[in-house]
């Protein structure tokens, strides 16, 4: 069955979608609409149909799927209009600006019987899949802390992402990815507490970075951090267990696992520092640890649209559940609340 998708917004992310869709057998781009003339002209150079406006796009009977890749503040209105026009909808992340707005979108999907989903593409990132594999294998023993970070040094991109009214800021831009991943690490486990801080180093209108400590009911804390003024990047992932640690440096999955092999270290050689010695912080002897390669896991982002088409054909359930999306939206709101009040927020009791 051939599906046709129309794109609302044809900026950089929509261009990424366009290139991905070209490699899919049963999905093709019917056309685009963008409020910027230069983007419409660019679409013309690709021989992509350019609609005269949103109304014409939504009225096209060939289109059964609409991608919303416009600024965050217009996602809700376009999604509801598309759903009410009989279209199924893929929204770029974040799906909207608040849990209240998301509920209205979910209500519209239920009312119309049309499909609504969100392009949470970083569920297919190979570094994230590798962390999940490490946890599944259980080599680190009882895990007690997971750290997830992305760092840059150029501030916020010079577009609508710098503006609060358009849904700018790093919590909504990158936090939505890392928090979505964090909430999937322990499915079904309640998140009890949230404590967060935000930064305004390069932008006073929106957050240009944040950190959040997420305390789960199983005792594990996941620390999530996004920074845009970090000239030395910290590792993408750091996983700590009672019997070992795992390090993933970057998206290329450079890193290693180091774990104890059970050898009893009775004769610890102390480290001599300028101000004294320490056995506690002395490195382990090589004969007492294993150093292993990471169990790298491959990801295929084409599975996102393959799943969307299968949902439309009644063959699969959506891999992006709206209740998961709502949970992350509420978490982002809790992060802003915690940072504003400078206190721990109770999330799920």
Q: Which residues of the chain have pLDDT under 50?
A: none
DSSP element (H, E) containing 100: helix 99-112
Residue in 344, 304, 236 with CA at minimum distance from that of residue 65: 304
pLDDT at 24: 95
How many whole angstroms separate alpha carbon 258 and alpha carbon 279? 19
What's the rounded Cα separation, in Å, for the pair 148 and 222?
8
- Kind plus residue range of the DSSP H or E element containing 40: helix 37-45
pLDDT of residue 262: 83
Cα–Cα–Cα angle for 217, 326, 330, nearest 5°? 65
User: 9: which strand partners?
Assistant: none
How far is residue 13's CA from residue 291's CA, in Å, rounded to a whole number?
39
- Tell me, yes or no, if the pTM score tops 0.75: yes
Give residue 160's pLDDT.
75
Q: Which DSSP symbol is given to 34?
A: -
pLDDT at 9: 97
Is residue 122 within 8 Å of residue 132, measured between CB atoms?
Answer: no
CB 307 within 8 A of CB 316: yes
92 DSSP 8-state letter: P
The domain made up of 3-119 is a member of CATH 3.40.50.720: yes
Please compute, for residue 96, the number of CA atoms within 13 A of its CA located in the half-sphere on the CB side: 22
**Sequence spans of domains, the chain:** 3-119, 123-300+330-346
304 vs 93: CA distance, rounded Å: 14
pLDDT reported for residue 163? 75
Q: What CATH code is assigned to 123-300+330-346?
A: 3.30.360.10
Longest CA span, the chain: 78
């Amino acid at each position: 069955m051939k599906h046709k998708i129309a794109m609302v917004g044809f900026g950089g992310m929509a261009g990424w979608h366009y290139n991905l869709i070209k490699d899919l057998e049963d999905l093709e781009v019917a056309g685009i609409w963008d409020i910027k003339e230069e983007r419409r002209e660019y679409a013309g150079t690709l021989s992509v149909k350019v609609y005269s406006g949103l109304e014409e796009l939504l009225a096209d009977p060939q289109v059964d799927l609409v991608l919303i890749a416009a600024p965050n503040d217009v996602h809700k209105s376009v999604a509801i209009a598309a759903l009410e026009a009989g279209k199924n909808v893929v929204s770029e992340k974040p799906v909207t600006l608040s849990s209240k707005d998301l509920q209205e979108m979910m209500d519209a999907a239920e009312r119309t019987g049309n499909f609504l989903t969100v392009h949470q593409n970083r569920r297919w990132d190979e570094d994230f899949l590798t962390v999940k594999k490490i946890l599944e294998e259980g080599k680190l023993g009882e895990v007690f802390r997971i750290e997830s970070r992305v760092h840059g040094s150029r501030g916020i991109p010079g577009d609508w992402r710098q503006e609060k009214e358009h849904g700018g800021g790093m919590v909504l831009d990158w936090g939505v990815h890392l928090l979505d991943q964090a909430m999937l690490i322990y499915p079904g486990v309640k998140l009890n507490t949230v404590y967060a801080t935000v930064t305004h180093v390069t932008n006073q209108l929106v957050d240009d970075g944040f950190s959040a400590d997420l305390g789960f009911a199983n005792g594990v804390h996941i620390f999530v951090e996004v920074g845009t003024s970090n000239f030395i990047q910290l590792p993408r992932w750091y996983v700590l267990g009672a019997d070992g640690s795992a390090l993933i440096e970057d998206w290329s999955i450079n890193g290693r696992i180091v774990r104890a092999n059970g050898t009893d270290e009775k004769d610890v050689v102390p480290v001599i520092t300028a101000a004294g010695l320490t056995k506690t912080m002395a490195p382990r002897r090589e004969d007492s640890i294993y150093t292993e390669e990471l169990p790298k896991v491959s990801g295929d982002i084409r599975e996102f649209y393959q799943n969307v088409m299968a949902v439309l054909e009644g063959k699969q359930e959506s891999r992006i559940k709206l209740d998961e999306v709502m949970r992350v939206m509420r978490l982002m709101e809790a992060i802003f609340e915690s940072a504003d009040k400078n206190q721990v927020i109770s999330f799920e009791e």
